[in-house]
């Protein structure tokens, strides 16, 4: 298994939010992220933002009408559909879920133990992005085939 700190590889999910300033505040309150870099645009818009929580980073921005932006959508712009979701390993799944609920996350799957190990829950943020948080760490746990 390669160490991403030495081989230069990092996975950083990138999301679009209609109200990116509100999304930044919500992601901090609900999931414990902190602002790493925020580049504001015209009033109420974010050109680029980086939020971190430990070694996890997500990037986000307001929808842009540019070459890359034409390939991105907020779930509410496409009937609420998601074609991917974000999974983040956390120590205490139930406490994390409680914090997310208190901030208004819509829990779509309550915390539950998994057959392959660990515990997980899934929720949608205010703009419909699907997030999952679990105690199973695929980097340190192997599943028998």
Domains plus CATH for the chain?
Answer: 9-68 (3.30.720.120), 80-145 (3.30.720.110)
* Global pTM value: 0.86
What are the b/e assignments for 24-56, b being 16+ CB within 10 Å? bebbeebbbbeeeeeeeeeeeebebbbbebeeb
* Ramachandran region, residue 44 (left: φ > 0; alpha: ψ -120 to 50; beta: rest): left
pLDDT band of residue 70 (cuts 50, 70, 90) is: confident
Q: Which tens digits make up the pLDDT trace of 112-140?
A: 999 988 999 999 999 999 999 999 998 88
Percent of the chain with pLDDT over 70: 93
| 97 in Cβ contact with 111 (< 8 Å) | yes
Q: Which of 27, 45, 48 minimizes the C-alpha distance to 37?
A: 48
Of 2 and 39, the one with more pLDDT: 39
Neighbours of 97 (CB within 10 A): 22
Query: How much is the mean pLDDT over the chain?
Result: 91
Lowest model confidence (mean pLDDT) among 21-25, 81-85, 86-90: 81-85
pLDDT at 83: 81
């Amino acid at each position: 298994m390669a160490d991403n700190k030495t081989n230069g590889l990092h996975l950083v999910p990138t999301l679009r939010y209609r109200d990116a300033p509100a999304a930044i505040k919500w992601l901090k309150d609900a999931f414990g992220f902190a602002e790493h870099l925020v580049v504001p645009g015209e009033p109420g818009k974010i050109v680029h933002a980086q939020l971190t929580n430990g070694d996890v980073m997500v990037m986000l921005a307001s929808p842009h009408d540019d070459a890359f932006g034409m390939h991105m959508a907020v779930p509410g712009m496409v009937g609420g559909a998601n074609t991917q979701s974000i999974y983040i390993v956390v120590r205490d799944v139930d406490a994390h879920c409680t914090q997310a609920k208190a901030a208004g996350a819509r829990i779509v799957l309550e915390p539950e133990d998994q057959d392959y190990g660990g515990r997980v829950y899934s929720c949608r943020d205010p703009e419909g992005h699907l997030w999952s948080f679990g105690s199973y760490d695929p980097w340190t746990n192997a599943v028998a085939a």
